[in-house]
Chains A and B, each alone.
Chain A
Amino acid sequence: MARITRVLSATAVILGFFGAWELLCRLLHVSDLVLPLPSQILVTLIERFPDLWPHLIQTIASTLAGFTFGVLAGVVIGVMVGSSRLAYDTLYPLLIGFSSVPKVAIIPIFVIWFGAGTIPAILTALSLSIFPVVVNVATGISTSEPELEDVLRALGASRRDILWNVALPRTLPYLFASLKVAITVAFIGSITSETIASNYGIGTVMMVASANFDVALLFAGLALISITGIALYGLFSFAEARFTGWATRKSAVA
């Protein structure tokens, strides 16, 4: 019951926002070269969807590829940083330095190395998704409760047993929290790379639309990107709730 009201009121607010946008644009006679009407954007989106979706698939594929490798690398580095002083002292500063560099400045280097196209997009997604994963996994590992480790150590468990049975499970909520961030930044990364150096993908579509002053298409592309971003985030929130319900004490766990 409470859930239904919540969903309904959220929907109402969101629809209200777009309704107000539509109404204001019409009342103030805003040119559709500046800000198109939501209804116009929707129509363009539906009309151009057959052209758009192969690009979208391309972008999502690059994002997921980069994200997957980024997360794998992030978990490995995070475990090392979280469990070893030396790794903490060496890898962490390197990583922070690398993350401080704007990715727009790195994409040209990827392009020189690998040529324009898919690979720079994947690499950009990868390099962006590593950092949040490393930070969270390292935090999870290094804050592991000694009482829980003692339970295993009293049984004569090895360091590896402890890693698998205490440190990693305990880190899972931290990992999942970072996945939501990582997938979002990976998506942004691959789109950015596509706008700079590619002839395929939703980022490229945006560049072309902007060059042609096709404002409606530009906004349709934005809408598509937002919707996909929300969907990806939602997917990982769902996975988080599903696998780490114990951390939030929800009984809806398998």
Chain B
Amino acid sequence: MDQSVQSESKFAVEAGRSATSAEQPSKVIELEAVSVRFGQGRSGTTALGETTLDVRKGEFISFVGPSGCGKSTILRLVSGLVRPTNGVVVVGGREVGVKALRIGMAFQNASMMPWLTVERNVMLPLKIVPPFRADYRRKRKGEFRDRVRALLAQVGLSDFADHFPWQLSGGMLQRANLCRALVHDPQLLLLDEPFGALDQFTREELWGTLQALWLDKRPTVLLVTHDLREAAYLGSRICVMSARPGRIISDTPVPFAYPRTLETTYEPEFIALGKRMRELIVPVQTSGGSA
């Protein structure tokens, strides 16, 4: 049905968009036949094969798939850092590029500014994003500081607020990175393997923290992960991607009720779901090992 709209001009596409979003305001992200290529001609790489995806407000989508399949590229598309080579990306009812939503993004590598303390790094979004930026000078030593400290405490970094990024371990940096993505109360949260460098126990603890936050504030979340258990524990939907050039080969709702606990992950249905996802990613014959 969207096909007819698409054949018309880009302008018409946008007009059609805003009409639909007026009737149905719950659609937050729409990727329509989007693909991304880097470089020109034959020497270029297809980073993302043709992808169509709708995300409704308040959903929690987990992306899993082999390395290099374009998961990070999807997040970069949604945040406006990468332009689609083909297709249309609509975020918050507008074509991407115009910031219609407050976006919080945790990059795959922590990307902390080395000249700022951890506290100042985490505070950075408050300096940039409206409406906070107007109050930054007035509140950075008071309210904003308390807010950052509270977040750092939640991820166990209270003692490191005044340290510089190079004084932290990889896992600690990742936790600070997560705080930076959350500090400005984003409506859309883009998390690129936020727990990748953490030990199992810290990771499971932070799943709980993230889930509680999501249940409380209900941001829309896109989470990229390599951990199927993590994907199923947190996600309300799991999108599985094929190897490069990636496409979404499976888009499955996760049937377990929130709030989920670690106990949930040991239930037979949960394990079965993980196994099914795994078989989609790894060809069946090589997945003879453990689940």
Contact = CB atoms under 8 A, between A and B. Distances in A.
B95 to A, nearest CB: 14
B81 A246 contact: no
B80 interface: yes
B114 A157 contact: no
Contacts of A157: 128
B103 A154 contact: yes
A156 B128 contact: yes
B270 interface: no
B115 A154 contact: no
B115 A172 contact: yes
A31 interface: no
Given A154-B103, A155-B128, A147 B113 contact: no
Interface stretch (A93-101, A161-169, A183-191, A214-222): A161-169
Contacts of B180: 151
B111 interface: yes
Contact of B115 (A152, A153, A170, A251): A170
Contacts of B99: 156
Contacts of A28: none
B167 interface: yes
Contacts, number: 59
Contacts of A156: 80, 99, 103, 128-129
Contacts of A155: 103, 105, 124-125, 128-129, 184
Interface in A119-173: 147-148, 150-157, 161, 165-166, 169-170, 172
A169 B115 contact: yes
* Interface size bracket, A side: 20 to 34
A86 interface: no
B115 A150 contact: no
Nearest to A173: B115
A253 interface: yes
A209 to B, nearest CB: 47
A57 interface: no
Contacts of B63: none
A166 B113 contact: yes
B127 interface: yes
Given A148-B113, A247-B114, A251-B167, A165 B127 contact: yes
Interface string B47-86: 0000000000000000000000000000000011100000
B166 interface: yes
A249 interface: yes
Contact of A154 (B79, B109, B164): B79
B125 A150 contact: no
A56 B183 CA distance: 55
A154 B111 contact: no
B111 A150 contact: yes
Contact of A147 (B109, B115, B127, B164): B109
B107 interface: yes
B180 to A, nearest CB: 8
Interface in B79-137: 79-81, 99, 103, 105, 107, 109, 111, 113-116, 124-125, 127-129
Interface of B: 79-81, 99, 103, 105, 107, 109, 111, 113-116, 124-125, 127-129, 164, 166-167, 180, 184, 190
Given A147-B109, A156-B99, 10 more contacts: A150-B107, A150-B111, A151-B124, A151-B180, A153-B80, A154-B190, A155-B125, A169-B115, A247-B115, A251-B164
